[in-house]
């Protein structure tokens, strides 16, 4: 049996829960979509730099839920944020006993299936499998003119003794003038397994969402995520993606901006060994007056591989667009490599748009200057790498979220370079 056939068989054997008819129909359509397309290949432009062999060479049977081991409990405790509402998803299922009280407007997708969370869109093979098998996730509705006082922190932790896949889906909807902060942390224990996530974000006029996501560095984790964001008139989306390693990690982001919508996307990958991580973004300026700022950085050691594919598309009617995109990579080894592909597609004539990419090693003159002041070379190298990596956080506007991300950097940067 092929790997693709194993997922077909798992779907056929899936227990028929008492779920709405519309959901059963969408699951069947999703598995049929996967049957037709399978996993992406390098022949697809969007996936040509990614090595999906860890995902396609063996099946990862879909599972959900589980028992929290002492090791897992310790891992969750170490990553809780004191000033946030912490919600724990254990192997793709909300663990109420490990979580704080759900804030107003929040619910478990398993307890409240939502059609908007399963929107029928053109999906990749991994996202189609997610629609077929996902059982839980967060549904968050923030009422108009309301601000969530505390950030919402989703702790995704996956643990399995055997190869397995865990599929979650989230829906975040902010009413007109609403404001929220969302932080995600993805952790893993045990055998190699696949964590799959699909997120839909909808921001009405003048709403603002600050979103930070951390994928923790565990060799047992394969993480693929797809996120779509609709930004209403004068609304703002700010996203930051911090990749601290893993067997394979990929974040796909699609943003559509309404009139005078604002998008700020930042990212930082810190990779070692043979780790691979991808940030693939497409930002659509569909209306006039939109603004985009996208800055992606990566620090690569050993034989690590980072991929940045960023496209900003400006529609014919999207006059007065102001968009900037930049990719910067620091290579700490001759074997490390990056594939950077920034793109602009401009169909309007009254715009201000730019993009660029830089790749290089540590600056020899800067290193010499620091060493000449009596600082050991190892410490000097660490100082330069830390300054480069920490500067990526300048795009995070919320101080509390910036401190949280900075704390995540310390462990990686504290190891010898």
Q: Name the DSSP class of 91.
A: T
**What is the pLDDT at residue 414?**
72
**What is the pLDDT at residue 64?**
78
Q: What average pLDDT does the chain have? A: 92
Under 8 Å between Cβ of 166 and 193? yes
**What is the pLDDT at residue 311?**
96
Asked which of 26-30, 159-163, 165-169, 312-316 is least confident by mean pLDDT, the reply is 159-163
The percentage of the chain sitting over the pLDDT mark of 90, rounded to a whole number, equals 77
Give the integer Cα–Cα distance in Å for 310 and 325: 8
Is the pLDDT score of 217 beyond 80? no
Is the pLDDT score of 30 beyond 70? yes
**What is the pLDDT at residue 411?**
76
Q: What are phi and psi of 140, to 5 degrees?
A: -125, 120
Label residue 63 by pLDDT band (50, 70, 90): confident
Task: Reduce the DSSP state of residue 4 to 3 states and report it.
Answer: helix
Give the integer Cα–Cα distance in Å for 202 and 312: 19
Under 8 Å between Cβ of 404 and 81? yes
Under 8 Å between Cβ of 330 and 388? yes
Task: Reduce the DSSP state of residue 128 to 3 states and report it.
Answer: helix
Label residue 29 by pLDDT band (50, 70, 90): very high
**What is the pLDDT at residue 178?**
98
pLDDT digits 0-9 by tens, 331-351: 999 999 999 999 999 999 999
Mean pLDDT for 45-52 is: 92
Nearest to 160 by CA among 55, 276, 64, 244: 64
Label residue 159 by pLDDT band (50, 70, 90): confident
Nearest to 150 by CA among 201, 216, 210: 210
* Domain range summary for the chain, segments of one domain joined by +: 3-257, 364-417
pLDDT digits 0-9 by tens, 71-110: 888 989 999 999 999 999 999 999 999 999 999 999 999 8
pLDDT digits 0-9 by tens, 264-280: 999 999 999 999 999 99
Label residue 10 by pLDDT band (50, 70, 90): very high
Question: Which residues lie closer than 8 Å to 266 by C-beta, 6 or more apart?
Answer: 239, 240, 241, 294, 295, 296, 392, 393, 395, 396
pLDDT digits 0-9 by tens, 303-327: 999 999 999 999 999 999 999 999 9
Name the pTM for this structure.
0.95
Mean pLDDT for 389-400 is: 95
Label residue 162 by pLDDT band (50, 70, 90): confident
**What is the pLDDT at residue 231?**
98
Under 8 Å between Cβ of 294 and 265? yes
Label residue 130 by pLDDT band (50, 70, 90): very high
Question: Which residues lie closer than 8 Å to 224 by C-beta, 6 or more apart?
Answer: 55, 126, 194, 195, 196, 197, 248, 249, 250
Is the pLDDT score of 16 beyond 80? no
Give the integer Cα–Cα distance in Å for 79 and 130: 26
State the DSSP string of 8-60. HHHHHTS---S--HHHHHHHHHHHHHHHHH-S--TTSGGGTT---HHHHSS--
Is the pLDDT score of 417 beyond 80? no
């Amino acid at each position: 049996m092929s790997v693709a056939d194993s997922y077909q068989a798992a779907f056929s054997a899936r227990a028929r829960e008492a779920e709405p008819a519309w959901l059963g129909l969408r699951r069947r359509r999703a598995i049929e979509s996967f049957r037709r397309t399978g996993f992406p290949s390098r022949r697809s432009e969007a996936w040509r730099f990614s090595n999906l062999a860890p995902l396609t060479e063996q099946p990862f049977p879909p599972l959900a839920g589980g028992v929290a081991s002492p090791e897992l409990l310790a891992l969750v405790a170490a990553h809780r944020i004191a000033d946030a509402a912490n919600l724990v998803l254990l192997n793709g299922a909300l663990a109420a006993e490990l979580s704080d009280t759900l804030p107003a407007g929040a619910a478990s997708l398993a307890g409240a299936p939502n059609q908007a969370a399963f929107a029928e869109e053109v999906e990749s093979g991994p996202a189609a499998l997610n629609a077929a098998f996902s059982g839980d996730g967060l549904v968050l509705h923030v009422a108009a003119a309301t601000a969530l006082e505390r950030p919402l922190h989703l702790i995704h932790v996956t643990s399995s003794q055997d190869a397995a896949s865990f599929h979650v889906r989230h829906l975040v909807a902010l009413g007109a003038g609403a404001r929220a902060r969302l932080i995600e942390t993805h952790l893993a224990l045990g055998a190699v397994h696949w964590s799959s996530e699909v997120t839909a974000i909808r921001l009405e006029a003048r709403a603002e969402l600050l979103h930070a996501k951390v994928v923790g560095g565990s060799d047992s984790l394969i993480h693929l995520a797809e996120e779509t964001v609709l930004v209403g008139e004068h609304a703002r989306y700010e996203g930051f993606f911090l990749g601290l390693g893993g067997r394979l990690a990929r974040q796909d982001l699609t943003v559509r901006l309404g009139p005078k919508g604002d998008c700020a996307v930042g990212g930082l990958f810190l990779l070692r060994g043979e780790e691979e991580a991808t940030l693939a973004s497409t930002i659509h300026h569909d209306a006039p007056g939109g603004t985009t700022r996208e800055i992606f950085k990566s620090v690569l050691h050993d034989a690590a591989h980072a991929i940045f594919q960023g496209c900003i598309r400006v529609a014919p009617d999207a006059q007065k667009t102001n968009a900037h995109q930049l990719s910067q990579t620091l290579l700490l080894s001759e074997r490390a490599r990056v594939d950077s592909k920034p793109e602009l597609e401009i169909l309007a004539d009254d715009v201000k748009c730019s993009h660029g990419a830089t790749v290089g090693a540590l600056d020899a003159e800067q290193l010499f200057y620091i060493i000449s002041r009596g600082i050991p070379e190892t410490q000097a190298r660490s100082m330069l790498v830390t300054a480069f990596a920490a500067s990526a956080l300048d795009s995070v506007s919320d101080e509390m979220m910036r401190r949280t991300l900075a704390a995540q950097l310390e462990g990686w940067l504290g190891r010898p370079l």
